[in-house]
Amino acid sequence: MKLKPIGIINSPYKKREDAPRQGRYSDEISEITVFDEYVEGLQDIEHKKHYYIFYWLDKADRDKLKEIPPGKTEEKGVFSIRSPVRPNPIAMCLVEIVKIEGNKLTVKWLDALDGSPLIDIKPFWAETDCI
Amino acid sequence: MKLKPIGIINSPYKKREDAPRQGRYSDEISEITVFDEYVEGLQDIEHKKHYYIFYWLDKADRDKLKEIPPGKTEEKGVFSIRSPVRPNPIAMCLVEIVKIEGNKLTVKWLDALDGSPLIDIKPFWAETDCI
């Protein structure tokens, strides 16, 4: 099970300390560049405004199974929290599209560090993705 | 970027034709078995009822960038639809936990084919995952 980087994320967050705990609470803008060989997959992307962005947490620890969440004092299992620390460090973040120009998507709410590899883009569907 | 299988999904869906278009609209039960070496990561999982399950679509075509959605006649870019066909065939599905016994989670709403490799489990957070 090998992932292919399909693009790259450029964001104002250079270090983990710079990133908001939740991108949703920030209006900072990030730019997603989809590599040329995957651009065809972007067809019709302009029909929706909200997407889940999947990216690779290339700096995350993959060997820890427990972590203390920010602001807490007790360890929790990584599958019960949203920590970047997990065996498969895939991040998922709901974003709002601000602008689309060719292979570049300008978005808000994204919490990725600058330079994170893009893995997937999926449209948000409230009826199945939410309670 | 190599994924580790962290468990396996057993479901009533043996072939793609058996699976519901959206697991959400079915009350069928699936069982997720987390492999022993990752069980520690399940600590505190009982505190919430809803999780996103990430699994690997091991039968999906990774080379197509356009696909005709079910019931439609026109091709769309794979990043604008939720087709299993995509460069990195990671599925994400919101589930409701029915029962937890050790390393086994019994869930509903999951749309995975029987035998699908489990990749990740993340708690659902309405405030950041939904509009």
Q: What is the pLDDT of residues A66-75, one digit of tens each?
A: 999 988 999 9
This prediction has a pTM of 0.95
Q: Is A5–B3 a contact, with Cβ atoms under 8 angstroms apart?
A: no
Closest Cβ–Cβ partner in A23, A54, A87 for B4: A87
Which residue stretches of chain B have pLDDT < 50?
A: none
Question: Which residues have a Cβ under 8 Å from the Cβ of A48 and sit 6 or more positions away?
Answer: A97, A123, A124, B80
> What is the pLDDT at residue B27?
87
Confidence grade of residue A17 (pLDDT, cut at 50, 70, 90): confident
Cα separation, A25 vs B30, in Å, equals 35
Q: Is A1–B6 a contact, with Cβ atoms under 8 angstroms apart?
A: no
Closest Cβ–Cβ partner in B42, B94, B129 for A79: B42
Q: Is A123–B82 a contact, with Cβ atoms under 8 angstroms apart?
A: yes
Cα separation, B88 vs A32, in Å, equals 17
Report the gap between the CA of A105 and the closest CA in chain B (Å). Answer: 12
Closest Cβ–Cβ partner in A6, A51, A94 for B87: A6
Question: Which residues have a Cβ under 8 Å from the Cβ of A24 and sit 6 or more positions away?
Answer: A94, A109, B127, B128
Exposure string over B42-53, b if 16+ CB within 10 A, otherwise e: bbbbeeeebbbb
> What is the pLDDT at residue A24?
86
Cα separation, B31 vs A106, in Å, equals 39
Confidence grade of residue A80 (pLDDT, cut at 50, 70, 90): very high
Q: Is B43–A77 a contact, with Cβ atoms under 8 angstroms apart?
A: yes
With beta carbons less than 8 A apart as the criterion, state whether B5 and B90 touch.
no
